[in-house]
């Protein structure tokens, strides 16, 4: 298939060949060791000038301002941008001054990656800059960056705002939109803070299978694949819960995993078919302990990230200072709909849904109906961190029955800014009760619910060996990152979100 090239791309390929004809390798194999970064230079030069006399730095050219026998340019490395000053007499000493005019002046483009050696100085306008004494091309860029604006100083810049472009070509987005890089740095900091807290609490980080013979641990539609050697269907995991609880059976008293889960469902601003969840399980604890632990965990994460418990989310200020508010699910529904659904059967719940204008399907049982009512009419009201507790048993097939309230289970979800961030239980460890719950899920499958759970016979066998009382939780890392970085779309916190197949110009012409 022939590649359609723009005029700029054709010109850059011509420059590439000219460089090679001159004996200059545009992609040299040698390492280029650096001893400073843009951020380091800007932060420390003024108070420690003596150590910035012999600097080696590498980065991408983001702007060039030609001044005849010299030029100012801006390069960008992983830490930020730095102005550099390149003079012909410095980088082309001796007789051969033509190298500057024929190569460095004409052959370099915005987007090229270069290595520089020189000394730091401050310009007459007060800008910390690098006076270049040696320059080396490290990588020739054959595509121009989408930099389309120029300020009064001649510096080019742009922030691409088209989500289709940004998500599909994240590598370009990261180059030209520095704030995007900061989002992903914060994502790693969030996970690091969580990991440190769990390690300090004595939990063990583990790994469990992504390919599973039974997609268990949640109610969701799975992705299905096929294992050729075994000639069996396999599923991409929708959750890692049942495997982590097998490890509790095996004698570990605290385990956790940052898991990639997959659910074959719709995509929108808060859902991606591939997502990251933290799950951890602690023996001899219950959901009350988990509420206390998780609110302290999140308070610490936010404090580690910002030095305060408050974060800005849109026009709202959200405070993660523990303790969080606690409201039962039935209380929440009654407060926001006026209906007391605590004693209703399936027919009564359907009538409530009808009165509230909530669309329901015939395959939905009591649990799904209550979930729809809460999701449609209640969830969005909880802006400050709030634990919604004590769910109906029909909604929670893996949760221990409530110790005092008939028909409920010991479960909570954490709501923040109108979205679920975490889901936790006192784990069901009665193998006979668990088998009955799985069988109830099978009946929902037979009614057409393609998100109902499968029966995992090996997990039941594990429970029959005895699992200690256990508390478990799942925290959505993507949604937590959205919240803590003030991003409204999940695509903003995933390096490479799922996209529809790209329609190429050749495909369009064939149509």
H or E, element range at 197:
helix 178-200
Instruction: Clarify whether residues 199 and 74 are in a common domain.
Output: no
Are residues 110 and 154 both part of a single domain? Answer: yes
pLDDT at position 508: 46
Strand, coil or helix: what is 287? helix
State the pLDDT at residue 152: 56
- Classify 102 as helix, strand or coil: helix
> Rounded to an integer, what distance in angstroms lies between the CA atom of residue 342 and that of residue 346?
11
Query: Do 389 and 477 belong to one domain?
Result: yes
Q: Is residue 511 part of a domain?
A: no
Minimal CA–CA distance to 214: which of 465, 457, 461, 463? 457
Q: Is there a single domain that holds both residue 94 and residue 127?
A: yes
Do residues 243 and 189 both lie within one domain? yes
Is residue 150 assigned to a domain? Answer: yes
- In this structure, the answer to whether residues 26 and 76 fall within a common structural domain is yes
Q: Which of these three, 158, 188, 216, is where a domain ends?
A: 158
Following DSSP, what letter does each residue of 460-495 receive, concatenated? HHHHHT----EEEEEEEHHHHHHHHTT-SSGGGG-S
Handedness of CA 363, 367, 373, 378 (dihedral sign): negative
CATH number of domain containing 318? 3.30.930.10
Domain presence at residue 437: yes
Of the candidates 161, 168, 163, 135, the one whose C-alpha atom is nearest the C-alpha of residue 57 is 135
* Residue 409, in any domain of the structure: yes
Per-residue model confidence (pLDDT) at position 154? 52
Number of domains in the chain: 2
Do residues 197 and 293 make contact, with C-beta atoms less than 8 angstroms apart?
A: no
Q: Is 278 among the domain residues?
A: yes
142 is in which domain, residue-wise? 7-158
- How far apart, in whole angstroms, are the C-alpha atoms of residue 242 and residue 239? 8
Q: Is residue 275 one of the residues assigned to a domain?
A: yes
Residue 77 contacts residue 57 (beta carbons within 8 Å): yes
Residues 213 and 265 grouped into a single domain: yes
Which of residues 93, 124, 158 is at a domain's end? 158
Same domain? 136 vs 197: no
In terms of domains, do 207 and 243 share one?
yes
Same domain, yes or no: 215 and 144: no
Handedness of CA 376, 381, 387, 388 (dihedral sign): negative
Residues 202 and 154 in one domain: no
Q: How many CB atoms lie within 10 A of CB 374?
A: 22
Chain-centre distance of CA 8, in angstroms?
34
pLDDT means per 10 residues in the chain (511 residues)? 81 95 94 97 95 97 91 95 93 72 85 97 96 96 78 58 90 92 97 98 98 86 94 95 97 98 90 96 98 98 98 96 96 96 92 94 86 94 97 87 92 96 96 90 77 84 97 97 96 94 59 41
Whether the upstream peptide bond of residue 3 has omega within 30° of 0, thus cis, is: no
Let me know if residue 393 belongs to a domain.
yes
Decide if 148 is inside a domain. yes
The CATH number assigned to the domain holding 135 equals 2.40.50.140
Residues 55 and 139 reside in one and the same domain = yes
Tell me what pLDDT residue 348 has.
94
């Amino acid at each position: 298939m022939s590649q359609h090239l723009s005029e700029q791309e054709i010109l850059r390929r011509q420059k590439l060949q000219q460089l090679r004809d001159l004996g200059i390798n545009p992609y040299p194999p040698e390492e280029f060791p650096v001893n400073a970064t843009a951020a380091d230079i800007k932060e420390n030069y003024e108070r420690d000038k003596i150590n910035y006399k012999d600097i080696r730095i590498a980065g991408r050219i983001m702007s060039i301002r030609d001044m005849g026998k010299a030029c100012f340019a801006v390069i960008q490395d992983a830490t930020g941008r730095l102005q550099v000053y390149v003079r012909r007499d410095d980088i082309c000493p001796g007789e051969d001054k033509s190298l500057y005019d024929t190569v460095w002046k004409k052959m370099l483009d915005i987007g090229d990656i270069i290595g520089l050696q020189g000394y730091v100085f401050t310009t007459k306008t007060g800008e910390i800059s690098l006076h270049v004494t040696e320059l080396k091309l490290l990588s020739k860029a054959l595509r121009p960056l989408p930099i389309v604006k120029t300020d009064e100083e001649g510096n080019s810049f742009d922030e691409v705002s088209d989500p289709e472009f940004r998500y599909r070509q994240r590598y370009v987005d990261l180059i030209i939109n520095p704030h995007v890089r900061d989002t992903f740095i914060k994502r790693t900091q969030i996970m690091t803070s969580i990991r440190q807290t769990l390690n300090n609490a004595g939990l063990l980080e583990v790994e469990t299978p992504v390919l599973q013979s039974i997609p268990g641990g949640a109610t969701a539609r799975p992705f299905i694949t096929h294992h050729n050697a075994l000639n069996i269907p396999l599923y991409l995991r929708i959750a890692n819960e049942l495997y982590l609880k097998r490890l509790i059976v095996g004698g570990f008293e605290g385990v956790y995993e940052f898991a990639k889960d997959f659910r074959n469902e719709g995509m929108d601003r808060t859902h991606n078919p591939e997502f990251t969840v933290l799950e951890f399980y602690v023996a001899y604890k219950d959901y009350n302990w988990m509420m206390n632990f998780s609110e302290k965990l999140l308070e610490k994460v936010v404090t580690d990230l910002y030095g305060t418990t408050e974060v800005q989310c849109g026009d709202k200020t959200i405070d993660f200072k523990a303790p969080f508010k606690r409201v039962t699910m039935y209380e929440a529904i009654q407060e926001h709909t006026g209906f007391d659904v605590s004693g209703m059967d399936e027919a009564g719940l359907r009538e409530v849904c009808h009165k509230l204008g909530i669309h329901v399907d015939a395959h939905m049982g009591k649990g799904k109906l209550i979930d729809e009512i809460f999701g449609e009419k209640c969830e969005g009201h909880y802006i400050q961190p709030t634990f919604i507790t004590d769910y109906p048993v029909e909604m929670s097939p893996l949760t221990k029955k409530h110790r005092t309230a008939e028909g409920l289970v010991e479960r909570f979800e954490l709501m923040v800014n109108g979205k679920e961030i975490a889901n936790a239980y006192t784990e069901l460890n009665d193998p006979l009760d668990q088998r009955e719950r799985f069988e109830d899920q099978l009946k929902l499958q037979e009614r057409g619910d393609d998100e109902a759970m499968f029966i995992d016979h090996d997990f039941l066998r594990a429970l029959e060996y005895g699992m200690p009382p256990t508390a478990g939780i799942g925290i959505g890392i993507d949604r937590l990152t959205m919240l803590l970085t003030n991003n409204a779309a999940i695509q903003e916190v995933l390096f490479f979100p799922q996209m529809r197949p790209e329609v190429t110009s050749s495909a369009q012409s064939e149509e």
